[in-house]
Amino acid sequence: MKKISNNVFLKAHSFVYAIFAIALFFLPHMLWPNYGVELNDRYSVFLSQHNSIFLGGIAILGFLFRDVQYKSVTAVKLFQGLMWTNILGVLVTLYAAIIGVFVGFGWSDPMFFALLAVLSFFKVQENK
């Protein structure tokens, strides 16, 4: 399997997170119903927008570190951080799917986070 450079991986990872951050901020009424989540009031809309802070922050940090030196301590720690962030994403979204908060398209979220966690794990191993 061809290895993806740290730069390309971090740009792609950041792009995915940035898209979701933008969608959660500007299009919460279009996005959340696909997951079975109903936005009933301005407070639920704000919570969606508030969540975009963290997704956008992860996107920004990944993009800023896109030129991290290969096989460096910084690279390993960065990819470990992304891996654990994505594992947390698996746990939280799987919980939402199991208890019935996420339905429909919501089951794709744990798979999405699992894929990013696995890819981040491979980047940790590559950079050790």
42 is a domain residue = yes
Q: Please say whether the beta carbons of 21 and 55 come within 8 A.
A: yes
What is the model's pLDDT at position 51? 95
Region of 102 (left: φ > 0; alpha: ψ -120 to 50; beta: rest) is: beta
pLDDT beyond 80 at 109: yes
Number of domains in the chain: 1
27-84 pLDDT, tens per residue?
999 999 999 999 999 999 999 999 999 999 999 999 999 999 999 999 999 999 999 9
| Local structure of residue 99 (DSSP, 8 states) | T
Instruction: Transcribe 48-85 into DSSP letters.
Output: HHHHHHHHHHHHHHHHHTTTPPTT-HHHHHHHHHHHHH
119 is a domain residue = yes
1 is a domain residue = no
| Residue 101: domain span | 6-127
82-103 pLDDT, tens per residue?
999 999 999 999 999 999 999 9
What pTM was computed for the model?
A: 0.93
Total Cβ atoms within 10 A of residue 97: 20
51 is a domain residue = yes
Distance CA 9, CA 2 (A): 12
